């Protein structure tokens, strides 16, 4: 006896509430854009420029005392946050201090970093500094441009690939699903203000690759079924294709999410943002493959395989499950 998460024969009508699901996606995308315009993103040092200092001490983090110790140094915008993680020991108190890039300097000098560390030691004598990262404003600007170009380049390459392999309607549907996934991911990060850095860009590119893989599986089965069922309406063919690949979709997404949940819980705060972005992307990517990409293809229509004149040709073995 083998475990079946999805029955062998499924007949879910994914288009039954098409306008509800598709409309909800459109509304969520618009809300994501509004949230982004209002709150923006919590850019990390990679994109803002400056210095990030991670501290660790057996004493409780006193943000006010840390800030008072650094105030005489006139460092400008200083952000101090305590880091919480279930994997930390009881006496492991961690804070993250972010200091803006100083005018005229690519990054804070080693002498200034040493002075900051001495000032913090006056508050917590046993304090240590596991990591110190500095990025200049010029470098951060280049990183922003490179990140945008990398995402746009990935989307362009995917459009070309889908267009060459399938009909152009499939390419439009796939890109619409990818834009849906990216916009919702950025909207969520803007809403909850999770730090947005180069690791999140890597996560977005991973989401793009995972989502298009899921969409291509459905589209590939749809292309086969368009040749197999010559006389069936396009909506039925797309439904059949989604149902035939549903087991694979759920199993792949489910097993990947199990690993990601383990990383979110046990992986520590350093990679939590990256893992959270991928987990969210898998959820919305699976949704968009089933409810966004296929809807676009249905709206645009797609040319059938007319190599045989008889529109009923090729349906002799249509009842056999491939």
Give pLDDT tens digits along the chain (322 positions): 455 666 667 777 878 887 888 888 889 999 999 999 998 888 776 677 778 888 888 888 888 888 888 888 887 767 788 887 777 777 888 888 888 766 555 566 778 888 888 888 888 888 888 888 776 656 666 777 887 888 788 778 877 877 787 778 888 888 888 888 889 989 998 998 887 877 888 888 888 888 888 888 888 888 888 778 777 888 888 888 888 888 888 888 888 888 888 888 777 666 778 888 888 888 888 888 888 888 888 888 776 654 544 444 444 444 444 4
Distance of CA 121 to the CA centre of its chain: 39
At the topology level, CATH places domain 18-42+140-300 in Multidrug efflux transporter AcrB transmembrane fold (1.20.1640)
Residue 249: burial class (beta carbons within 10 Å; 0-12, 13-18, 19+) = middle
At the topology level, CATH places domain 50-135 in Alpha-Beta Plaits (3.30.70)
For 215-259, write each residue's pLDDT tens digit: 888 888 888 887 787 778 888 888 888 888 888 888 888 888 888
For 109-132, write each residue's pLDDT tens digit: 778 888 888 888 888 888 888 888
Q: What pLDDT score does 313 carry?
A: 44
Helix (H) or strand (E) holding 284: helix 272-291
Q: What pLDDT score does 16 carry?
A: 80
Pair of tokens at residue 244: 């035939």
Separation between Cα atoms, residue 42 and residue 190, nearest integer Å: 7
Residue range(s) in the chain whose domain bears CATH number 3.30.70.2040? 50-135
Residue range(s) in the chain whose domain bears CATH number 1.20.1640.10? 18-42+140-300
Contact 241, 226 (CB under 8 A): no
Q: What pLDDT score does 268 carry?
A: 66
C-alpha gyration radius of the chain: 25
Q: What pLDDT score does 311 carry?
A: 47
DSSP track, 19-75: HHHHHHHHHHHHHHHHHHHHH--EE-HHHH-EEEEEEEESSPP-HHHHHHHHGGG--
């Amino acid at each position: 006896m083998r475990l079946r998460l999805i029955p062998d024969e499924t007949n879910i009508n994914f288009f039954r509430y098409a306008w509800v699901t598709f409309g909800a996606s459109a509304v969520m995308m618009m809300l994501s854009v509004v949230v982004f315009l209002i709150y923006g993103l919590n850019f990390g040092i990679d994109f803002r420029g400056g210095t990030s200092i991670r501290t660790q001490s057996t004493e409780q983090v006193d943000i006010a005392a840390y800030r008072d110790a650094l105030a005489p140094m006139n460092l400008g915008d200083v952000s101090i946050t305590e880091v919480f993680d279930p994997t930390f020991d009881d006496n492991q108190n961690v804070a993250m201090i972010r200091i803006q890039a100083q005018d005229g300097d690519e990054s804070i000098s080693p002498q200034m970093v040493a002075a900051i560390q001495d000032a913090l030691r006056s508050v917590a004598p046993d304090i240590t500094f596991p990591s110190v990262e500095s990025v200049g404003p010029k470098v951060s600007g280049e990183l922003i441009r490179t990140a945008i170009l990398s995402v746009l380049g990935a989307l362009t390459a995917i459009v070309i690939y889908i267009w060459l392999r399938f009909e152009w309607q499939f390419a439009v549907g796939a890109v619409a699903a990818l834009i849906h996934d990216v916009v919702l991911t950025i909207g969520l990060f803007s809403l909850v203000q999770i730090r947005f850095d180069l690791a999140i860009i890597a996560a977005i590119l991973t989401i793009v690759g995972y989502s298009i893989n899921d969409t291509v599986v459905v589209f590939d089965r749809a292309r086969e079924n368009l040749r197999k069922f010559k006389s069936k309406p396009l909506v039925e063919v797309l439904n059949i294709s989604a149902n035939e690949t549903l087991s694979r979709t759920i199993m792949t997404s489910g097993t990947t999410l199990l690993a990601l949940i383990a990383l979110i819980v046990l992986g520590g705060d350093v990679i939590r943002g990256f893992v959270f972005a991928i987990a969210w992307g898998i959820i919305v990517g699976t949704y968009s493959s089933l409810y966004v990409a296929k809807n676009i293809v249905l709206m645009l229509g797609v040319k059938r395989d007319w190599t045989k004149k008889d529109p009923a040709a090729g349906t002799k073995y249509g009842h056999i499950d491939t």
